[in-house]
Structure 1
Amino acid sequence: MADTIFCTKLQKDAEALSFQPYPGELGERIVKEISQEAWMMWLNHQTMMINEKRLSLIDPEAQKYLAEQMELYLFGGDYEKPEGYTPKS
């Protein structure tokens, strides 16, 4: 049986991540507070942002932007959404 945590993003108990998906203190916080489901939601959102904004992942500015957006998305901030995006209800 998978470990469960209280997910900060989803505000419910959910399956924990089985690995630290990001380095450093932020990665440690993610593995402690973010569920597998919420992480997958972030990956989908990140993909939309990369495509919409045509970001290059080798560009340090794009990496910094995505790291900032990830923290806002996962921990409750005013993160950017693709233009014309309407989330599923």
Structure 2
Amino acid sequence: MDHMVFCTKYKAEMKGLPEPPFDSEFGQKIYKNVSEKAWGEWVERQKMLLNEYRLQPWTREAQEFLVEQMNEFFFGEGGALPKEYVAPK
């Protein structure tokens, strides 16, 4: 049986993640409130952020920035794209 959630991003009942993405309270919040579809969109957004800002994901600063962006993406206004970002065609 699939894990179902009321997705905060899509405001609908959808298939959730098979397990929490992190072993933390924030990971549990995502597991209980974010769909697989929304998580996939976040993964793509995260790649874009890493590239556009030239982040080194092993640094504390980059990790904190990504968590802030993730929180905004799922539970806030969606998160702003970098000013210089040009979507691929």
TM-score normalised by the chain length of structure 2: 0.86
Q: Which has the higher contact order (CA 8 A, sep 6+)?
A: 1
Gaps of 5+ in 1: none
Q: Is the 8 A contact 1:5 1:32 kept in 2?
A: yes
Deviation at 1:16, TM superposition (A): 0.9
Cα RMSD for the two superposed structures: 1.5
How many Å separate the matches in 2 of 1:78 and 1:49? Answer: 13
**8 Å contact from structure 1 (residues 56, 62) kept in 2:** yes
Deviations 1:1-51 (A, max 9, x none): 423211011111111110110231111100000010001110000000000
The residue that corresponds to 1:84 in the other structure is 85
3-state DSSP of counterpart to 1:14: strand
Sequence identity of aligned pairs in percent?
37
| Pairs within 5 Å for 1:53-64 | 53-64=53-64
Secondary structure at the aligned position of 2:29 is classed as helix
List structure 1 segments (4+ residues) > 3 angstroms apart after TM superposition: none
1:70 to 1:2, Cα distance in 2 relative to 1, 3 A: same
Q: Indicate the residue corresponding to 1:52 in structure 2.
A: 52
Query: How far off is 1:73 after superposition?
Result: 0.4
Alpha-carbon distance in 1 for matches of 2:33, 2:60 = 26
Contact 2:52 2:85 survives alignment (8 Å): no
Gaps of 5+ in 2: none
Instruction: Normalising by structure 1, report the TM-score.
Output: 0.86
Contact 1:9 1:76 in 2 (8 A): no
